Structure 1
Amino acid sequence: MAHDEEVDLETTIGEDSLRHSEKVSEELLQKIQEDASPFRMLTGDRPTGKLHLGHYFGSLKNRVELQKAGVETWLVVADYQVITDRDAVGEIRDRVYGLVTDYLSVGIDPEKAVIFPHSQIPELNELVIPFLSIVTDSELRRNPTVKAELDASGNRPMSGLLLTYPVHQAADILFCKANVVPVGKDQLPHLEQARVIAQRFNKRYGRPKGQKHPIFPRPQALLSEAPSVLGLDGQKMSKSRHNTIELAMTADETAARLKKAVTDSERTITYDPVNRPEVANLVQLTALSTGRDPHEIAGEIGDGGAGTLKKVATEAINEMLAPIRERRAEIEANQDFVRDVLRTGIEKANEQARETAREVHEALQMQYF
């Protein structure tokens, strides 16, 4: 590390840095709209439970839109990362299949996407070793996301896997040469770590002989514009809080959850996220489900009270989810299809990972025959 300056990733969430990231993201989106062919997107999820409306409006819907725009789509099921902050994996196989089922049901085209669990890609995980040589312990400990994950775990002793979580995520991004990563603002430090690793590796080890470009592109953040969606209890929407509307729920289950949603005692419905967050959240979910303005929806409900709001929200959400549920039922009835999607994705990811590993070994002068 003598030749590389340490970076403080906390600066990536500072006000000036955020404004810069937003500007870069806007320019990137414009380029994608003009010609999506040069772009490869990597994104994904940990299989820790069922996906819900927060996931859908926060990322899944945007992934589908980017794929339809022509962006090459790679989706990682981060199964190894399940054990960064927990002692057991649970029903990991069922969760992975459920996650892929959700991807397909919301509209991800398996003919145009590479979907894979990273535990099945040996050369991807091998990248963590050389990557660890170009980051420092102090950099990782200062990473805001690592600190947040540690706080969320109840300050249990930090595992080596949790400490190196950003490096593993960098391997997920860089092994497939992704140059676009959709993220929320709170995930910028993770992506900046991947950008730093790519830059340092390219600078230190150069490029394979006869190759015009460095091995690793520096991926750019495509910031999500989706508004934050609260859970039905007014807290952060979270699988562990049981305050979600899961994509796998039936219409009746959705109605039952929404009937118990927290509101307030005022009868007149307004859209006021600051002073009436619980009511505003139901209005916003209705707006997101219908593509309408939340103020307009609140005005139409008027003094109809919480009962009318919940009824309107239930109808809007169930109508929006109806085609997703229909596709999900078809896919659930054909798990061989999900298995084939995974098998194909694993094969394609391994092919790419082997090629990247070959380039890395050449750059490291670790080819012996």
Structure 2
Amino acid sequence: MNSFATTQLRSTELAQSISEAPQNYRVLTGERPTGPLHLGHFFGSIVERLRLQRAGVESFVILADYQVITDRDLMPHVREFVHGAVLDYLAAGMDPEQTTIFTHSSVPALNQLMLPFLSLVTEAELHRNPTVKAELAASGRALSGLLLTYPVHQAADILFCKGNLVPVGKDNLPHIEMTRVIARRFNERYATVFPEPEALITSTPEVPGLDGRKMSKSYGNAISLGMSPDETAQVIRRTTTDAERRITFDPQSRPGVSALLSTAALCMGEAPEVIAERIGDSGSGALKQLTAEAVNDFLAGHRERRSELAGDPGYVSQILKRGNERANHEANQTLDEVRMAMGTNY
């Protein structure tokens, strides 16, 4: 059995264990605030976070603003993106009493873990990380020290609160393995401080962008959660389809048509093939109208709650302040244990 199949099997076991004893788990998850959250985030991660919250699992959600420094063009907007993400979390149903929402830059003790963790990995191990390779290729710039050490940043994010469960997709498994390696090497070299976190493979679907590729802020093919209904309709109308009038679901040959069908299907809870059959020969105009209505209907409640929350500018700041205080408490405790283990507690 290959490693991914083994991880999938273990994820099934973990799901059962979570339902029986959620108090045994602590989750760390989050994202880099590089733009507005979109439907891909909603179906790909937020839904899973809400499921774990309902199950009673303690969760920490990090907005890794320090990791945005690798993209110099985005840093002037990072505060806006952080606040927007918190609005979307809360509008989706995230409860700040159960889930700690915090920012990377606000937790100094977390970042102090980087030094001992860096001593536990080799340059070759860092270069092999797929995300480092992908980010380097996308940036078109020389490899910075910050980008090279990105996997170690993620290990510090997970281990500062002694997270032992990380919900991820297949592409993120190398990061979890690196974190496990760092935890194991620290425990062997100094003293047992850290758990070796496990990956919980999420069953949430990959949401295609409007051009058929993965929905991504960097591709400009996303439907943001905070868009207005009119903005959503405009973005969908601009989607490139094809000249064939009959609507069919064929992601390889008809990426634009199939992406719209997939988006509508997720929002409507139906199969894309069923929707395609219903539209039939009505053409791409009818498909775009149906997709816009499906997305807007699906997000109507979310957008209403988001707008209400945005009406109180200080509320998001209060949530972040409380979350940062909680994260700092955990990080300081862990750093004290690390210093004790390393003999640097003066």
Whether the TM-score (by the shorter chain) exceeds 0.5 is: yes
Moved more, 245-254 or 228-237: 228-237
The one-letter amino acid paired with 1:95 is F
- Which of 150, 153, 162 is the aligned partner of 1:165? 150
- Which of 69, 75, 83 is the aligned partner of 2:61? 75
Retained in 2: the 8 A contact 1:271–1:294? yes
Retained in 2: the 8 A contact 1:84–1:165? no
- Which of 156, 171, 177 is the aligned partner of 1:192? 177
TM norm structure 2: 0.96
- Which of 44, 51, 60 is the aligned partner of 1:58? 44
Work out whether 1:151 is the aligned partner of 2:129: no
Instruction: Map 1:1-369 to 2 at 5 A.
Output: 16-86=2-72, 89-154=75-140, 156-207=141-192, 215-368=193-346
Question: Once the 2 structures are TM-superposed, how far is the Cα of residue 257 of structure 1 from its aligned partner?
Answer: 1.0
Figure out how many residues of one structure are paired with residues of the other and give that number: 346
Distance of 1:65 and 1:268 partners within structure 2:
38
User: 3-state DSSP class of the match of 2:199?
Assistant: strand
Distance of 2:117 and 2:142 partners within structure 1:
23
User: 3-state DSSP class of the match of 1:317?
Assistant: helix
Question: Once the 2 structures are TM-superposed, how far is the Cα of residue 33 of structure 1 from its aligned partner?
Answer: 2.7
Distance of 1:233 and 1:276 partners within structure 2:
10
User: 3-state DSSP class of the match of 1:24?
Assistant: helix
The alpha-carbon distance between structure 1 residues 145 and 305, as it changes in their structure 2 partners (threshold 3 A), is same
Structure 1 unpaired stretches of 5+: 1-14, 208-214
Distance of 2:320 and 2:17 partners within structure 1:
31
Question: Once the 2 structures are TM-superposed, how far is the Cα of residue 126 of structure 1 from its aligned partner?
Answer: 0.3
Distance of 2:340 and 2:130 partners within structure 1:
34
Sequence identity, in percent?
55
Question: Once the 2 structures are TM-superposed, how far is the Cα of residue 183 of structure 1 from its aligned partner?
Answer: 1.2
Distance of 1:73 and 1:108 partners within structure 2:
10
Runs of 4+ in 1 over 6 A off after TM superposition: none
Distance of 1:16 and 1:86 partners within structure 2:
39
User: 3-state DSSP class of the match of 1:42?
Assistant: strand
Question: Once the 2 structures are TM-superposed, how far is the Cα of residue 238 of structure 1 from its aligned partner?
Answer: 2.3
Structure 2 unpaired stretches of 5+: none
Distance of 2:208 and 2:242 partners within structure 1:
15
The alpha-carbon distance between structure 1 residues 277 and 227, as it changes in their structure 2 partners (threshold 3 A), is farther
Retained in 2: the 8 A contact 1:36–1:71? yes
Distance of 1:240 and 1:194 partners within structure 2:
26
Distance of 2:170 and 2:261 partners within structure 1:
24
Superposed CA deviations along residues 298-349 of structure 1, whole A, max 9, x for unmatched, are: 2222222211211111111111100100110011111211111000001100
Retained in 1: the 8 A contact 2:34–2:74? no
Question: Once the 2 structures are TM-superposed, how far is the Cα of residue 88 of structure 1 from its aligned partner?
Answer: 5.8
Distance of 2:306 and 2:74 partners within structure 1:
27
TM norm structure 1: 0.90
Retained in 1: the 8 A contact 2:208–2:262? no
Moved more, 76-85 or 270-279: 270-279
Superposed CA deviations along residues 88-119 of structure 1, whole A, max 9, x for unmatched, are: 61122222111111111111111111011011
Question: Once the 2 structures are TM-superposed, how far is the Cα of residue 276 of structure 1 from its aligned partner?
Answer: 2.3
Distance of 2:122 and 2:287 partners within structure 1:
52
The one-letter amino acid paired with 2:38 is H
Superposed CA deviations along residues 2-21 of structure 1, whole A, max 9, x for unmatched, are: xxxxxxxxxxxxx9222112
User: 3-state DSSP class of the match of 2:24?
Assistant: coil
Question: Once the 2 structures are TM-superposed, how far is the Cα of residue 279 of structure 1 from its aligned partner?
Answer: 1.5
Distance of 2:337 and 2:294 partners within structure 1:
51
The alpha-carbon distance between structure 1 residues 353 and 239, as it changes in their structure 2 partners (threshold 3 A), is same
User: 3-state DSSP class of the match of 2:136?
Assistant: helix
Retained in 1: the 8 A contact 2:30–2:62? yes
Moved more, 25-34 or 35-44: 25-34
Distance of 1:291 and 1:87 partners within structure 2:
38
Distance of 1:52 and 1:38 partners within structure 2:
31
Question: Once the 2 structures are TM-superposed, how far is the Cα of residue 224 of structure 1 from its aligned partner?
Answer: 2.4
The one-letter amino acid paired with 2:341 is A
User: 3-state DSSP class of the match of 1:74?
Assistant: strand
